[in-house]
Amino acid sequence: MKTMKILAIIALTTLTIFTSCQSEENEQVGTNPNANSSTSQTAENYERTAMNDGSEDDFLDNNSCTELLFPLTATINGQEITLISSLDYEKVLEIMGEFNDDDDTVIFNFPIRVKLSNYTELTVASEADFNELKTQCEEASNAMEEAISCVNISFPITMLTYDVNIEQTGTVVVQSEEQLYNFMTDLNSDEYFSVKYPITVTLSDGTTVQVNSDAEFQDSIEECTSYEEEEETAEETADEVEAIISKSKFKVESFIEAGINKANEYADYTIEFTNDLKLVARNTVNTTLENIEGTYSVSSDIKVFLNISFASNTALSALSNDWIVTTYTSTMVTLQSKTDASVTLTFKKI
């Protein structure tokens, strides 16, 4: 009797395991009329999103298709510097940011090593070879084949694979961008895939989004690339504004606070924006007064900002603010407080 019970338990356990496996198999294997081919828009979206992003060091190599590999040596505005890691970028940015009216020059000590969009590592022997890589990147950009860097996928994600009859053949768990890129580029013409949604992505503006379909993934890409275009436009505008104010003197044309124009309080002062990001305010009526010094910086996201900073105990301390550039010409810059839209400031060049 005891033996019979044991056999019964074994049989029941085997049946349970078989049923469980069969259930799991049913979850994995089936047909999917929405499976994507290797040449589909979804395949292109995931391939480009998974490409190696070389944009972090664009201020050095001006090439978003290549990632500079360490160590490397370059001469920045006449100063030779060896970069051991990305932490050394700060040194480069300090050299480049010393003056805002100079043309920054970067001369690499070749050979250098780079990683391409397809994760291939390459030794670049000369400037001519380096320029050829830039040309190839520009061509890829014009053909909309460069990396999409404004969408970051949270891994792991799961890909379901299908044969030419759209019968599921298996699943692939992808742990990284490089694995995803290899998965997409290794697909044959008779192989199909679908993404097991939902997945989570982070856009370049910091927004985290849950994506539930191929169409929503496409929408996320369109949203973030549009945001990138706005960022690029704002960056160009910031450069123009900085060029207008650098090494120039201004008067306060208007300063409206609490509905009152207080420009008369600053009528005796000229404010110079130097090319090393300093402010020098001079009293042109009482020249015995010491100059008032401060600092400024121009930045952007999809808007352009002018940060002005004077010491809190000076005659111009009220002008200290994070300002949004609302309009500008070659002789006039109009600003609005970032935190209080009712506060505005207008500088007029003299």
Residue 315, domain CATH: 2.40.128.270
Answer yes or no: do 296 and 308 share one domain.
yes
> pLDDT for 102-143, tens place per residue?
999 999 999 999 999 999 999 999 999 999 999 999 999 999
Task: Note the pLDDT of residue 334.
Answer: 98
Answer yes or no: do 85 and 197 share one domain.
no
- CA 271 from centre of chain: 34
> pLDDT for 281-305, tens place per residue?
999 999 999 999 999 999 999 999 9
User: What's the whole-number mean pLDDT along residues 33-48?
Assistant: 94
Answer yes or no: do 122 and 259 share one domain.
no
Answer yes or no: do 41 and 116 share one domain.
no
Helix axes 214-245, 41-50, angle to 10 degrees: 50
Dihedral sign, Cα of residue 31, residue 156, residue 220, residue 114: negative
Burial label, 327 (beta-carbon count in 10 A; 0-12, 13-18, 19+): exposed
Task: Note the pLDDT of residue 29.
Answer: 47
Answer yes or no: do 39 and 171 share one domain.
yes
pLDDT at 201 over 80: yes
Answer yes or no: do 61 and 34 share one domain.
no
pLDDT at 20 over 70: no
CB distance 321 to 308 below 8 Å: yes
Domain count, the chain: 3
Q: Is residue 5 part of a domain?
A: no
What is the C-alpha to C-alpha distance for residues 38 and 208, in angstroms, rounded to an integer?
A: 27
Answer yes or no: do 166 and 76 share one domain.
no
Answer yes or no: do 252 and 345 share one domain.
yes
- Which 8-state DSSP code applies to residue 350? -
User: What's the whole-number mean pLDDT along residues 262-279?
Assistant: 98
Task: Note the pLDDT of residue 14.
Answer: 38
Q: Is residue 3 part of a domain?
A: no
Answer yes or no: do 251 and 343 share one domain.
yes
Task: Note the pLDDT of residue 18.
Answer: 34
- Which 8-state DSSP code applies to residue 177? H
pLDDT at 326 over 90: yes
pLDDT at 23 over 60: no
Task: Note the pLDDT of residue 30.
Answer: 54
* End-of-domain residue from the set 89, 115, 142: 142
Q: Is residue 24 part of a domain?
A: no
Answer yes or no: do 37 and 99 share one domain.
no
Answer yes or no: do 40 and 187 share one domain.
yes
DSSP string covering 77-119, please? TTEEEEESSGGGHHHHHHHHTS-SSS---EEE-SSEEEEETTS
Answer yes or no: do 287 and 341 share one domain.
yes
CB distance 57 to 67 below 8 Å: yes
Range(s) of the domain holding residue 120: 53-142
Q: Is residue 21 part of a domain?
A: no
Q: Is residue 8 part of a domain?
A: no
